[in-house]
Amino acid sequence: MRFVARSTTVAPKPGVGNLLRLPAFRGLLAANVLSATVFGTSRFVFVWLVGELTDWNPATAILGIVIGLPPLFLSAWAGSLADYLPPKRLGAALFAISGVLFTVTATLIATGAMTVPLAMVTGFLAISAPSMLMPLVQALVPSVSPPEQLMQAVALQNLSMMMSTIGGIFLGGAVMQLFGTAAGFWLLVVASVLGFVVTSRAPLPTDWSARQRRADRYVTASGSHSVPNRCARCSPSPGCSASRSRPPRCSCPSSHGTSSARTRSPPVR
């Protein structure tokens, strides 16, 4: 008898390069970097601004509380909005709102009309949009990443976010030191415009994707497995399909809990 030796080879897991080859993931990564840069830079430039407007030290502490409220109250809400609103349009709208508010702030500084109370108000409003952008981007990571690389995708997005947040502080400080206080806010305007362009052109999930994710969550919560374009309550078969515009509904010949007499043909006598 002849024995043939079999060699078992384990396929290597795909690396980060496989993620970066996905257009949707690259677009989301760029939006993440820009939103984190805007968030980190904005907090620094507003503190710098108040320090130049007044010598009263408690004003800086009050500003820190004011600009810390939007991330505290809007983060969880912004992440859940991705399930109910078109994520791509929502992200582009938040970048646009951020750009408009920073433009108003930079104009007030350039014209000499900025005051400490006005800086508190503009700081609260302007940081609200970046505070919503960061959790929104993180909520979209599973929808643009392969399931087997989800942990790598989350780690890469978080690393990019932290590096951009810290790097934005140094970038904003350097720009304001070289070109003045208003230049730091114009830098935020440029970053917001770039974020709007990137988010608008990136192949991010649309409204249908949000509805499909809600349907999948409903099916998962009910204890069944979701199969794309098939009924989630029965075994995958060629004759079973579900509508994309509504929750999965069975169209198989099986009865799914109804009387089996409905699906059987009448006896032939």
Separation of alpha carbons 240 and 254, rounded Å: 10
- The pLDDT assigned to 163 comes to 94
Share of the chain above pLDDT 90, in %: 42
For the chain, the domains span: 22-205, 206-250
Separation of alpha carbons 157 and 29, rounded Å: 6
- The pLDDT assigned to 206 comes to 67
8 Å CB contact between 31 and 25:
no
What's the residue count for the chain? 269
- The pLDDT assigned to 183 comes to 93
- The pLDDT assigned to 92 comes to 93
Predicted TM-score (pTM) of this structure: 0.70
Query: How would CATH label the architecture of 22-205?
Result: Up-down Bundle (1.20)
Closest CA to 153 of 15, 250, 266, 265: 15
Whether the pLDDT of residue 144 is over 60: the answer is: yes
Instruction: List C-alpha distances in Å: 58 to 13, 91, 122, 128, 228.
Output: 54, 35, 18, 22, 57
Separation of alpha carbons 215 and 228, rounded Å: 11
Whether the pLDDT of residue 263 is over 70: the answer is: no
- The pLDDT assigned to 139 comes to 85
Separation of alpha carbons 166 and 224, rounded Å: 43
Closest CA to 130 of 55, 75, 168: 75
Given pLDDT bands bounded at 50, 70 and 90, which one contains residue 57?
confident
Provide the mean pLDDT of the chain. 78
pLDDT digits (tens, 9 = 90+) for 170-218: 999 999 999 999 999 999 999 999 999 999 998 887 654 444 554 454 4
- The pLDDT assigned to 86 comes to 86
